[in-house]
Amino acid sequence: MTDPIFILFIGVLIVVGGIIGLKLHPFLALLLGAFVVALMTPASAIEQFALARGSAPAAALALSKKSIGERIATEFGSTTGKIGILIAMASIIGKSMLESGAAERIVRSLLNVTGISRAPLSFLFGSFFLGIPVFFDTVFYLMVPLAKAMTLRLGKNYLLLVLCITAGAAMANSLVPPTPGPLFLISEMQIPIGMMMVGGTLVGLVTVAAGYPFAVWANRKWPVPLRDSIDARLEDIQNLNARQDQDLPSLWFSLLPILIPLVFISADASLDSFFDSGSLAAQPVFTQKSVGFIRFLGEKNIALILGAMAALLLLVLQKKGDREAVSTSMQAALMSAGIIILITAAGGAFGGMLQQTGISERIAELTQGYQMALIPLAFLITAVVRTAQGSATVAMITASGILSGMSNIGHLEYHQLYLGLAIACGSKLIPWMNDSGFWIVCKMSNLTEQEALKTFSPLLTIMGIVGLIVIVIAASLFPLV
Give CA–CA dist 475/378, Å, rounded.
14
Q: Which one, of 164, 139, 135, lies nearest residue 151 by Cα? A: 164
Proportion of the chain above pLDDT 90, given as a percent: 15
- Span 403-416, average pLDDT: 61
Between residues 186 and 85, which one has the greater pLDDT? 85
The pLDDT of residue 81: 86
Which residue stretches of 155-192 are H helix? 158-175, 180-188
Domain assignment present for residue 15? The answer is no
DSSP state of 273: H
pLDDT(72) > 80: yes
Condensed to tens digits (0 to 9), the pLDDT of residues 429-440 reads 888 887 878 888
Name the pLDDT band for 368 (thresholds 50, 70, 90): low
Domain assignment present for residue 121? The answer is yes
DSSP state of 299: S
Between residues 236 and 377, which one has the greater pLDDT? 377
Give CA–CA dist 217/328, Å, rounded.
39
Name the pLDDT band for 373 (thresholds 50, 70, 90): low
Kindly tell me the number of DSSP H helices and DSSP E strands found in the chain: 23, 0
Condensed to tens digits (0 to 9), the pLDDT of residues 332-342 reads 888 878 887 88
> Strand runs (DSSP E) across 94-227, as ranges?
none
Instruction: Check whether the bond before 223 is cis (ω within 30° of 0).
Output: no
Condensed to tens digits (0 to 9), the pLDDT of residues 208-265 reads 999 999 999 999 999 988 876 655 566 666 666 666 777 788 888 888 887 888 788 7
Domain assignment present for residue 275? The answer is yes
Q: Which one, of 474, 187, 142, lies nearest residue 311 by Cα? A: 142
The pLDDT of residue 277: 58
Compute the mean pLDDT over every residue in the chain, rounded to the nearest whole number. Answer: 81
Give CA–CA dist 473/71, Å, rounded.
45
- Span 65-71, average pLDDT: 89
Domain assignment present for residue 319? The answer is yes
Name the pLDDT band for 407 (thresholds 50, 70, 90): very low
Give CA–CA dist 458/477, Å, rounded.
29
- Span 392-421, average pLDDT: 69
Domain assignment present for residue 279? The answer is yes
Domain assignment present for residue 447? The answer is no
Cα end-to-end span (Å), the chain:
47
Give CA–CA dist 423/380, Å, rounded.
8
Domain assignment present for residue 266? The answer is yes
The pLDDT of residue 282: 66
Proportion of the chain above pLDDT 70, given as a percent: 85
Q: Which of 134-148, 206-220, 232-246, 408-422 has the lowest mean pLDDT?
A: 232-246
Q: Which one, of 388, 380, 421, 394, lies nearest residue 171 by Cα? A: 421
Give CA–CA dist 361/21, Å, rounded.
31
Domain assignment present for residue 391? The answer is no
The pLDDT of residue 422: 93
Instruction: Check whether the bond before 430 is cis (ω within 30° of 0).
Output: yes
Domain, as residue range, for 304: 82-173+226-338
Query: How many structural domains comprise the chain?
Result: 1
